[in-house]
Amino acid sequence: MATILDRFNALWGRRNTAPPTVTSPDAKPAAPAVVTFTAQRDRRSRIADCRDMAADDPRAKQALATLARDATKGGVTLQITGPRADQAQAAADALFARVKLFARIDDWARLTFRDGDSFLEVGVAANGEIVELTRKPTLEMYRWSDDFDRFYDPAAAFYWTDRPTLNDVPPANATFFPDWQIIHARWDRDEGSRYGTPMFASARKAYKRMTQGELDISIRRKTRSGQRFVHILDGASAAEIEAYKAANKPALDDPFAAVSDFFSNRPGGLQVVQGDAHLSEIEDVKHHVQTFAVASPVPLELIGYGTDLNRDILEQKQDQYGDAIESVQGWLEAEFLLPLLERQWLMLGIWPDTLSVEFQWKQKKRPTPAGMKDMAAFAASIKAAGLLTDGTLLHMLATVLPDFDVDAEIAAIEAQEAEHAAQAAAQAAEMQRIAMNAMQAADNNDGNNDPANTDQASGAADATGTGLAGQKAAQ
pLDDT digit string, tens, across residues 260-283: 666 666 676 666 656 565 666 778
| One domain for residues 72 and 88 | yes
Q: Do the domain assignments include residue 19?
A: no
Predicted confidence (pLDDT) per residue in 163-181, tens digit: 876 677 888 889 999 999 9
Quote helix, strand, coil % in the chain, to nearest 5.
55, 10, 30
Strand partners, 231: 270
Q: What is the pLDDT of residue 83?
A: 92
**Nearest C-alpha neighbor of 77 from the set 351, 348, 406:** 406
Local confidence band at 241 (pLDDT 50, 70, 90 cut-offs): confident
| One domain for residues 48 and 110 | yes
| One domain for residues 269 and 138 | no
Kindly state the average pLDDT of the residues 324-346.
95
| One domain for residues 43 and 186 | yes
Q: Do the domain assignments include residue 254?
A: yes
Predicted confidence (pLDDT) per residue in 64-90, tens digit: 999 999 999 878 889 899 999 999 999
| One domain for residues 152 and 178 | yes
Q: What is the overall mean pLDDT for the chain? A: 80
Listed range (7-21, 135-149, 158-172, 386-400) with the worst mean pLDDT:
7-21
Kindly state the average pLDDT of the residues 328-334.
95
Strand partners, 361: 76
What is the DSSP-derived secondary structure letter of residue 362? P
* Whole-prediction pTM: 0.70
| One domain for residues 123 and 147 | yes
- Asked whether the beta carbons of 263 and 252 are under 8 A apart, the reply is no
**Contacts of residue 192, Cβ cutoff 8 Å, sequence gap at least 6:** 147, 148, 149
Kindly state the average pLDDT of the residues 52-73.
93
Radius of gyration of the chain (CA): 42
Q: Do the domain assignments include residue 61?
A: yes
| One domain for residues 181 and 217 | no
| Domain boundary, last residue among 265, 287, 309 | 287
Local confidence band at 258 (pLDDT 50, 70, 90 cut-offs): low
| One domain for residues 178 and 212 | no
Q: Do the domain assignments include residue 30?
A: no
Predicted confidence (pLDDT) per residue in 5-44, tens digit: 666 677 666 666 555 554 454 555 554 444 444 556 688 8
Q: Do the domain assignments include residue 370?
A: no
Strand partners, 122: 133
Q: What is the pLDDT of residue 25?
A: 47
Local confidence band at 471 (pLDDT 50, 70, 90 cut-offs): very low
Most confident of 6-20, 410-424, 433-447: 410-424
| Domain boundary, last residue among 270, 287, 304 | 287
Q: Do the domain assignments include residue 425?
A: no
Predicted confidence (pLDDT) per residue in 351-384, tens digit: 999 999 999 887 766 666 777 777 777 777 777 7
Q: What is the pLDDT of residue 262?
A: 63
DSSP secondary structure string for all residues of 271-340: EEE---TTTT--HHHHHHHHHHHTTSSS-GGGTT--TT--HHHHHHHHHHHHHHHHHHHHHHIIIIIHHH
Listed range (154-158, 187-191, 256-260, 393-397) with the worst mean pLDDT:
256-260
| One domain for residues 336 and 272 | no
Q: What is the pLDDT of residue 470?
A: 46
Kindly state the average pLDDT of the residues 194-221.
89
Q: Do the domain assignments include residue 256?
A: yes
Domain of 179 in residue numbering reads as 4-14+37-200+319-354
Kindly state the average pLDDT of the residues 141-165.
89
- Asked whether the beta carbons of 402 and 364 are under 8 A apart, the reply is yes
| One domain for residues 94 and 164 | yes
Q: Roughly what angle, to the nearest 10 degrees, separates helices 58-72 and 39-56?
A: 90
| Domain boundary, last residue among 310, 330, 354 | 354
Percent of all residues in the chain with a pLDDT value above 90, rounded to a whole number: 37
Q: Do the domain assignments include residue 27?
A: no
| One domain for residues 42 and 112 | yes
**Contacts of residue 120, Cβ cutoff 8 Å, sequence gap at least 6:** 108, 133, 134, 135, 136, 182, 183, 185, 336
Local confidence band at 4 (pLDDT 50, 70, 90 cut-offs): low
Q: What is the pLDDT of residue 433?
A: 83
Give how many domains the chain has, as a whole number.
2
Instruction: Report the C-alpha gap between 331 and 181 in whole angstroms.
Output: 20
Q: What is the pLDDT of residue 259?
A: 60
Percent of all residues in the chain with a pLDDT value above 70, rounded to a whole number: 73
Kindly state the average pLDDT of the residues 324-340.
95
| One domain for residues 264 and 161 | no
Instruction: Report the C-alpha gap between 202 and 389 in whole angstroms.
Output: 48
Sheet of 117-124: strand order equals 130-136, 117-124, 182-186
Local confidence band at 339 (pLDDT 50, 70, 90 cut-offs): very high
Q: What is the pLDDT of residue 113?
A: 97
pLDDT higher at 117 or 229: 117
**Nearest C-alpha neighbor of 114 from the set 56, 178, 177, 175:** 56
**Contacts of residue 166, Cβ cutoff 8 Å, sequence gap at least 6:** 35, 36, 37, 38, 40, 41
